[in-house]
Amino acid sequence: MNREHLRDQLLGPVLQCTRLGRQTSQLLAVSSEVVNQRTRRLLRAGPIPGEAEWAEVAVMAREKVEVPLESVTAMAAAMVPAALRFWTHATQSMLALGSDSLSLASSRSPDDFRVRQAALATTMVNAAVGWFQLYGVAADVAGEGLKPVLREVKANATRLAKR
């Protein structure tokens, strides 16, 4: 593994977490706008809200059930390949580290020991990089869960801005 390849593998999870951060900040900004618009409309309605305000409350109540369920479903669907990747990596790492450790222990000469030690070190680096990349997978799963919420909040902001 050359230095550039290692850099790219280590940078991937950072970029995935950055993407999740951007999604989260976009969600916070747009949702505060929606809360502001809805609050102002309810305050303008006075003590006895009209039909339009009650319709908006009904939309809010429906969203509080539908969107989280859609979000959980999206995250569960994203977890299947993530779990498969996790278990595949764990098994492959365990087998490779065990094999290289036994190979190192059965070295017969100093040159053989040096070559096998380098192979074990490379396997350890590959295993560590793989574990680090799983953080990016977790960020992707969380991002999949945010997508339905962000979509709904943006739709609300657009709809409420037209009124």
Side chain identity at residue 17, one-letter code? C
As given in the structure block, the two tokens for residue 56 are: 């908006």
The H or E element spanning position 64 is helix 51-105
Q: What is the pLDDT of residues 85-139, one digit of tens each?
A: 999 999 999 999 999 999 999 999 999 999 999 999 999 999 999 888 888 999 9
Spatial separation of the C-alpha atoms in residues 147 and 133, rounded to whole Å: 21
Rounded Cα gap, residues 56 and 42, in angstroms: 9
Terminal CA-CA length for the chain: 58
Kindly report the three-state secondary structure assignment for every residue of 76-138.
HHHHHHHHHHHHHHHHHHHHHHHHHHHHHHCCCCHHHHHHHHHHHHHHHHHHHHHHHHHHHHH
Query: Using one digit for the tens of pLDDT, what is the confidence trace for 54-88?
Result: 888 898 899 999 999 999 999 999 999 999 999 99
